[in-house]
């Protein structure tokens, strides 16, 4: 088993008519997703051995979430059952000048109420190469924060590499200082940092003096590397034209050398899960032992391609992602 991810999988509700607002919708599509499970599903689709660790209620919704994970080839043997409810989030997809929005309903979920020592991390991490953690998990409860810190420490002790995506959500944290205190304890154990320049500005008040998005990202990555002592940092770059059209690219700082991808303009079907697709594709490239430039180009292609797929999950194959990476972005019918 190469990868393990840890976090909350939720029930995702989206208006059945994607163009409708939540307050005018009478029917919703149901899916199961979350940052860490999204990374796991993408890794599974790309052919990697991956395990997802979480806690779900012992009811039909918990069963459905587990079935959804298994459909992507994810090992679910380390999922605990208990508690009373599954976390939920409701998504309204934006268009043109109307932004997308999210309503979270996660309080008192089974995962948020995990208890100390429920997860036997030494056994779970045995023979793993990487664990993916997210900055979303620590905000869910005091124990979730302590568990995320603890697993990062145990992973480091066991020689399992830690990939950490800051994933700062303003709507969930009361104050950036609260996130900073917890992130600091995870970052000391982090081998690969995911995120973007805006997150570092929000949480750590890093204010680069550059003007272009690439130069801002480059400067921020160097600042983060110096502050946290992390040699490998992979950031996404996004330029908003509207809720319907973005320009996206990727940046990788590796041992003081940097690599940037081409900019890809995308018409957006669903932008949720795009950063998770980037992280999963990046980790896939690392496990394949590709060179640094190919890794960031592949991750960026996956990042761009996910914008065209409904739902949180990125279901594109390695071949399809590589086709985008090679510049085949005209959208011509394949016959």
pLDDT tens digit string along 82-125? 999 999 999 999 999 999 999 999 999 999 999 999 999 999 99
Task: Give 334's contacts (C-beta < 8 A, 6+ positions apart).
Answer: none
> How many domains, in total, are found in the chain?
1
pLDDT tens digit string along 292-305? 999 999 999 999 99
Question: Distance between CA atoms of 144 and 162, rounded to whole angstroms?
Answer: 17
CATH of the domain at 13: 3.40.1190.20
Between helix 274-287 and helix 35-45 the angle, nearest 10°, is 50
Between helix 60-70 and helix 35-45 the angle, nearest 10°, is 40
pTM across the whole model = 0.96
Q: Tell me the percentage of the chain whose pLDDT exceeds 70.
A: 99
Residue 117 domain-assigned (yes or no) = yes
Could you give the count of Cα atoms lying within 13 Å of 128 in the half-sphere of its Cβ?
27
Backbone angles phi, psi at 245, to 5 degrees: -135, 125
Domain limits for position 91: 2-326
pLDDT tens digit string along 209-236? 988 999 999 999 999 999 999 999 999 9
Q: Which three-class secondary structure state does DSSP give residue 272?
A: coil
Angle at 154 between CA 190 and CA 38, to 5 degrees: 60
Residue 103 domain-assigned (yes or no) = yes
Angle at 288 between CA 249 and CA 295, to 5 degrees: 15
Taking all residues of the chain, what is their mean pLDDT, rounded to a whole number?
95
The pLDDT value recorded for residue 335 is 67
Average pLDDT over residues 130-148: 97
What is the enclosing helix (H) or strand (E) of 104?
strand 101-105
CA distances from 242 to 74, 204, 298, 309 (A): 35, 27, 25, 18
The pLDDT value recorded for residue 47 is 97
Structure tokens at 114: 């995990």
């Amino acid at each position: 088993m190469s990868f393990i991810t840890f976090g909350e999988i939720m029930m995702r509700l989206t208006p059945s008519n994607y163009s409708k607002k939540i307050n005018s919708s009478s029917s919703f599509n149901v899916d199961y997703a979350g940052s860490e499970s999204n990374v796991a599903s993408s890794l599974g689709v790309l052919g990697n051995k991956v395990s997802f660790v979480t806690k779900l209620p012992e009811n039909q919704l918990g069963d459905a979430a587990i079935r959804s994970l298994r459909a992507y080839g994810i090992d679910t043997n380390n999922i605990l059952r208990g508690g009373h409810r599954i976390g939920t989030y409701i998504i309204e997809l934006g268009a043109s000048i109307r932004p997308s929005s999210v309503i979270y309903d996660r309080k008192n979920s089974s995962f948020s109420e995990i208890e100390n020592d429920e997860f036997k991390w030494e056994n779970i991490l045995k023979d793993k190469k990487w664990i993916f953690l997210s900055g979303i998990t620590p905000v869910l409860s005091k124990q979730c924060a302590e568990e995320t810190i603890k697993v990062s420490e145990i992973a480091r002790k066991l020689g399992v590499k830690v990939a950490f995506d800051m994933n700062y959500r303003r709507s969930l944290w009361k104050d950036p200082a609260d996130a900073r205190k917890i992130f600091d304890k995870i970052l000391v154990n982090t081998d690969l940092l995911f995120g973007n320049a805006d997150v570092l500005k929000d949480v750590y008040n890093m204010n680069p003096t550059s003007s272009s998005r690439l130069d801002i990202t480059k400067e921020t990555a160097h600042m983060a590397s110096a502050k946290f002592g992390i040699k490998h940092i992979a950031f996404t770059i996004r330029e908003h034209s509207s809720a319907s059209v973005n320009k996206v690219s990727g940046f990788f700082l590796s041992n003081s050398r940097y690599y940037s991808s081409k900019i890809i303009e995308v018409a957006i079907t669903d932008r949720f899960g795009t950063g998770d697709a980037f992280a999963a594709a990046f980790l896939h490239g690392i496990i394949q032992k590709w060179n640094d430039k190919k890794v960031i180009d592949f991750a960026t292609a996956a990042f761009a391609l996910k914008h065209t797929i409904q739902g949180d999950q990125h279901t594109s194959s390695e071949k399809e992602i590589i086709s985008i990476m090679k510049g085949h972005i005209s959208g011509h019918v394949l016959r």
